[in-house]
Amino acid sequence: MNEASRRPDEHVTKFQATQISLGRMKDPAKQGRSPNPILEAVIIRAEEHEDQASLWSQANAVLRRWAQSCHPDEIAEFVILYEDGEKYDGSVKLSPPETEEREWLEHHIRTFHTTMVEQAKRSKRQPHFQEAVDDLSRLLSTHQIGGRLDQEETAP
């Protein structure tokens, strides 16, 4: 690790995802406190794929399929487990993609990071947001997001 920049050196291998779990459900924000049953769930394991590109591609294909047939009030929650025990979880609104972006999940994670960086700059609760930004920035710099190994992650 390059201590001056807190970013990994070019030659350091990033931790790989071992599993991506996806769950399709009604958006809790639109359902109130009523039970929020999972409508469909998928677990995608790295051991069942030849490489990270295939693993992430499968997760994106599931999200795209769900988005094409979902109701307007549905979301997908996801949990990405990594080989070092780290996990990243979140949710994405299921709607037909406005873009033909093949790396939908990866795009969502990076866009969320960018949004958090901007909120941290403007927020009265700046320390709260900055801590979250720092945690996500560390994850992006040390853990593989998506299938391509040559991706450059951007730091805030």
Per-residue pLDDT reduced to its tens digit, 122-131? 877 777 778 8
Query: Is 7 inside a domain boundary?
Result: no
Query: Is 3 inside a domain boundary?
Result: no
The letter for the amino acid at 123 is S
> What was the pLDDT predicted at 5?
36
Query: Is 147 inside a domain boundary?
Result: no
Query: Is 6 inside a domain boundary?
Result: no
Query: Is 154 inside a domain boundary?
Result: no
How many folded domains does the chain comprise? Answer: 1
Query: Is 149 inside a domain boundary?
Result: no
Q: Please give the model's pTM, rounded to 2 decimal places.
A: 0.79
The residues that bridge with 81 in the sheet, in sequence order, are: 19, 87
**pLDDT tens digits, residue range 74-121?**
889 999 999 999 999 998 888 765 555 667 888 888 888 888 888 888
Q: Which residue range is the domain that position 26 belongs to?
A: 17-142
